[in-house]
Amino acid sequence: MTSVADVWPDTDDVIGELPALELAGAEEIIEWTYERFERVALVASFQAESGVLIDMASRIVDELEVVTLDTGRLPEETHTIMERLGRRYPIRLRVVSPDPDELEALTAEHGTNLFRQSVDLRLRCCDVRKVRPLRRALEGYDAWITGVRRDQAHTRGGTPAVAIDREHDGIFKVAPLAGWSRADVFQYLEQHGVPQHPLYARGYTSIGCAPCTRATTPGEDERAGRWWWEQDQTKECGLHPLTVVREPV
Ligand code: SF4
């Protein structure tokens, strides 16, 4: 297994800077990331948080390297917002797809809508369509930026602003919006005139693959529309596992 020291000889220096980043604003964290690391991937799902990150980062770097996962089951509206933001901002977009052999083997055995059959099969679908492609996509980067927020789910409540990501060869995982609320995100988008994913206007509050996402009703949890048939399950796909923890300093 790759050790953090293999990836970053000056890891101790970086780790020493992490506590201060917990108190920093999102723009400051993004600025620090691009100053500190040479190869940075902004990983976007093109939900509202991606719009905030792209808008902020575009003020800091001339060209943004944006990585997105095209699972093959995304709603058409996600491609629409991808194109709109791509026209507005200086983005170099890397669209990452599942491995065709892995996908063919999975669907040959379980069908294309396997996620309805059991939680285990749903997680296998997410693994092949999301988790493995992201792991491959992040090879060669020093850090990745994600729009995950602590208040999205109890599983994300311990998300640090910056941490070593053991799931991805010890590169750094940066969550500039970790301490933001949903209201903060939409207020920023309105104030800065950033285009929004069309499905928000149709009652969606969290947007993933088309067959696994529905609109929510007032009072429902923000992520209630994700894998809604799994009401008692943890609503995660594996991209943000709990194993990503803040390093002791
Ligand atoms: Fe598969 Fe649904 Fe996960 Fe998308 S969200 S990868 S379709 S299980």
SS3 label, residue 107? helix
Tens of pLDDT along 69-111?
999 999 999 999 999 999 999 999 999 999 999 999 999 999 9
Residue 220 is predicted with a pLDDT of: 92
Output the pLDDT for position 6: 54
Overall pTM surpassing 0.85 (yes/no) = yes
Is 126 a catalytic site residue? Answer: no
Q: Identify the pLDDT of residue 241.
A: 73
| Helix (H) / strand (E) containing 143 | strand 143-145
* Distance (Å) from CA 188 to ligand 1 centroid: 29
Q: What does the alpha-carbon distance between residue 43 and residue 237 come to, in Å, rounded to a whole number?
A: 15
**Closest to 86 measured CA to CA, from 56, 61, 63, 60:** 63
- 11-21 helix and 26-36 helix, angle to the nearest 10 degrees: 170
* Span from the CA of 61 to the centroid of ligand 1 (angstroms): 32
List, as one string, the DSSP characters of 199-247. GGGGT-SS---GGGB----TTS-TTTTBTTT-TTS----SSS-TT--PP
14-28 tens-digit pLDDT: 888 999 999 999 999
Which residues fall within 8 angstroms of residue 79, CB to CB, at 6 or more apart? none
Nearest-CA residue for atom 5 of ligand 1: 209
Cβ-proximal residues to 12 (8 Å cutoff; 6+ apart), any chain: none
By most ligand atoms within 8 Å of CB, the mutation choice from 99, 130, 214, 233 for ligand 1 is 130
For residue 66, report the phi and psi dihedrals to the nearest 5 degrees. -110, 130
Report the run of H or E that residue 41 belongs to, with start and end: strand 40-43
Give the binding-site residues of ligand 1, using a 6 Å CB cut-off.
71, 73, 115, 122, 125-126, 129-130, 208-209, 211-212, 237
Instruction: For 117-142, give the DSSP string.
Output: T-HHHHHHHHIIIIIHHHHHHTTT-S
Q: What pLDDT shows up at residue 188? A: 98
Nearest protein Cα to ligand 1, atom 2 = 212
pLDDT at 246: 45
- Amino acid making up residue 232: D
- pLDDT given at position 249: 36
Which of 33, 12, 13, 8 shows the shortest CA–CA distance to 176? 33
Q: Which of 63, 75, 89, 62 is nearest to 194 (CA)?
A: 89
Q: Which stretches in the chain have pLDDT values below 70?
A: 1-9, 232-233, 242-249
